[in-house]
Chains A and B, each alone.
Chain A
Amino acid sequence: QKEVEQNSGPLSVPEGAIASLNCTYSDRGSQSFFWYRQYSGKSPELIMFIYSNGDKEDGRFTAQLNKASQYVSLLIRDSQPSDSATYLCAVRENRDDKIIFGKGTRLHILP
């Protein structure tokens, strides 16, 4: 059974601070890694994807991947109240394969 594990939270972070979200996965064959943001009552929205070990930065977001440790994280710099949402970690083995989602981490940015 391929699994993606996340701490359900809630994770509370002061406005302006760095929010750090973590995820581990069980399938060593996973090739693609995604972070989705989901606001309450809305559908998931892709924030970042990463394929290679190391860091990938996009604006205030940085995704980090360590395949040896089967670990992927998302850092949000200068957190804003609008960042309050559930963040879903997801992995995929092959390009056209299904995505396996974690249960999500609820993030709350404190104004």
Chain B
Amino acid sequence: GAGVSQSPRYKVAKRGQDVALRCDPISGHVSLFWYQQALGQGPEFLTYFQNEAQLDKSGLPSDRFFAERPEGSVSTLKIQRTQQEDSAVYLCASSLADTQYFGPGTRLTVL
């Protein structure tokens, strides 16, 4: 595809459920980033991959959050035992050089 794709676009989870969010980056893009955007806020960095290597996970808010990119392309962000404060839009971005291109995001609502 021409851009970054994310699925699902919307996810409703009951508190305590596990969720998995998928990101398909632009083909050939080496770097992949995950951000969390709460309502009325700017995106906040969660984690970063270069190919399959997770180089920075300093933004993950707790050990309930886990991300992987096993083959250096598709990435999955997993949130275990979801809490209401996890409700946000989760944005994925990929880049080849300096510019990050964002996907449409997954809106997660935890009830």
A interface residues, Cβ below 8 angstroms from B: 4, 32, 42-46, 49, 88, 90, 95-104
Contact = CB atoms under 8 A, between A and B. Distances in A.
Given A96-B55, A98-B33, 17 more contacts: A4-B42, A32-B98, A43-B105, A44-B91, A46-B99, A49-B99, A88-B43, A95-B98, A96-B31, A96-B48, A97-B56, A98-B48, A99-B43, A101-B42, A101-B43, A103-B41, A104-B42
A44 B43 contact: yes
B33 A43 contact: no
A43 B31 contact: no
Interface of B: 31, 33, 35, 40-45, 48, 50, 55-56, 59, 91, 97-105
Given A101-B44, A103-B40, A44 B102 contact: yes
A104 B44 CA distance: 12
A93 B100 CA distance: 14
Contacts of B41: 103-104
A43 B23 CA distance: 14
Given A43-B103, A98-B33, A88 B98 contact: no
B43 A46 contact: no
Contacts of A96: 31, 48, 50, 55
B30 to A, nearest CB: 9
B59 A43 contact: no
Contact of A46 (B31, B56, B100): B100
Nearest to B46: A98
Contacts of A100: 45
A43 B45 contact: no
A31 to B, nearest CB: 10
